[in-house]
Structure 1
Amino acid sequence: MEKPQSFTFSVYTENNLGLLNRISQIFLKRHINVESINASESEIENVHRLTIVVEITEAQAIKVAKQIDKQIEVIKAFYHREDETIYRETALYKMPINCLYDGGRVQELISDTYASIVNVSKDYFVIEKTGKKAETTRLYNELRPFGLMQFLRSGRISVTKEVMDISSELTKLVS
């Protein structure tokens, strides 16, 4: 039996109302939990890209990609195994200001993890960390004992390791 693994779907679309809902329904009908989702402009004018991360088998990934491709506004859907992509997430950590001056341990964590302070106020400061999910989770776990006030992690952004001439392929489909 095939073992589930992490797959990243790159879905190139027109930017139409309701499309994200219809795509999420494809995963819902198959009882697939979406781990992460990100929507943004793509490298092609008027074409948007959804990046969706799920844990499924490759057989399921093939079926889901075909089903997504059937949506009218979808130009093309691709899926990739984790080892086929370069990916990152960004996390924000809101901390009480007193942590900044409490023995230097939080400052040490920030430096050791290549994070940075992006905002400081009289009551709190905000740390930003970009990396893989394991890296942002590790910093989360290390900051919690210091009174973490808020935490937010973005959806995955990724590009393929393999050279894919997506722009020219999609331009042909859009034309």
Structure 2
Amino acid sequence: MEKQWYTISVYSENNVGLLNRISGIFLKRHINIEGLNVSKSEIENVSKFTIVIYTTEDWTRKIVQQIEKQVEVIKAFYHTDDDIIYQESALFKIASHLLFDERQIQNIIKESNSQIVTVSREFFVLSKTGRRHEIDEMHDALEPYGIMQFVRSGRIAVTKAAMPISEILKEFQEN
């Protein structure tokens, strides 16, 4: 089987220690978590984990089955990039003098559709939201000028198709 990117969505009760047990499932299989985001879901008291991995479908299916064995997990799904709409965000901290001294910096900001979040005498901060490759391209373009700090969020995603989880979550909320 061929490796590709998978996004795993895990809906669970909001309990301490679950993230540690889920990450242990990946550790045992020597599969790196490439992106992780945990947030509340559309249903009160239900959390959603969004986990990005690069592996085969067979391994992904086995991982999802293991995750679902955790007591607090209500349901877990996996999707390919074609099945979802997703975004990541990044912040770039750059020396302020470059904004005025290097014309190319202004072009990078404009071409990448990024935003200036703040400007001080010492630095300015750019925000970029988009796909992983778009953020990587911006990073590569800014790197020769010197990036003081860089941080990227985990992936956030929604499915293109209707999710059966909505009915499951409604039943969970009513009980």
TM-score of the superposition, structure 2-length normalised? 0.96
| Structure 1 residue 165 displacement after superposition | 4.4
Alignment of 1:31-110 (within 5 A): 31-110=30-109
Determine the structure 1 residue equivalent to 2:143: 144
User: What are the Cα deviations for residues 25-60 of structure 1, in whole angstroms up to 9, with x where unaligned?
Assistant: 001111111101111111100101000000111111
Paired residue type of 1:35: E
Instruction: Report the identity percentage.
Output: 51
Determine the structure 1 residue equivalent to 2:24: 25
Determine the structure 1 residue equivalent to 2:122: 123
Structure 2 stretches lacking a partner, 5+ long? none
Q: Secondary structure at the match of 1:17?
A: coil
Determine the structure 1 residue equivalent to 2:161: 162
Q: Secondary structure at the match of 1:12?
A: strand
Aligned equivalents of 1:156, 1:103: Cα separation in 2: 31
Aligned equivalents of 2:58, 2:147: Cα separation in 1: 41
| Structure 1 residue 102 displacement after superposition | 1.2
Aligned length: 174
In the alignment, is the contact (CA less than 8 A) between 2:75 and 2:165 conserved in 1? Answer: no
Aligned equivalents of 1:38, 1:75: Cα separation in 2: 17
| Structure 1 residue 108 displacement after superposition | 1.3
Aligned equivalents of 1:68, 1:103: Cα separation in 2: 49
Paired residue type of 1:51: T
Determine the structure 2 residue equivalent to 1:4: 3
In the alignment, is the contact (CA less than 8 A) between 1:96 and 1:149 conserved in 2? Answer: yes
Aligned equivalents of 2:42, 2:172: Cα separation in 1: 14
Structure 1 stretches lacking a partner, 5+ long? none
Q: Which moved more, 1:147-156 or 1:158-167?
A: 158-167
In the alignment, is the contact (CA less than 8 A) between 1:92 and 1:151 conserved in 2? Answer: yes
Aligned equivalents of 1:33, 1:149: Cα separation in 2: 26
| Structure 1 residue 172 displacement after superposition | 1.7
TM-score of the superposition, structure 1-length normalised? 0.96
Aligned equivalents of 1:25, 1:165: Cα separation in 2: 27
Q: Secondary structure at the match of 1:71?
A: coil
| Divergent runs of 4+, >3 A | none
Q: Secondary structure at the match of 1:172?
A: helix
Aligned equivalents of 2:79, 2:172: Cα separation in 1: 21
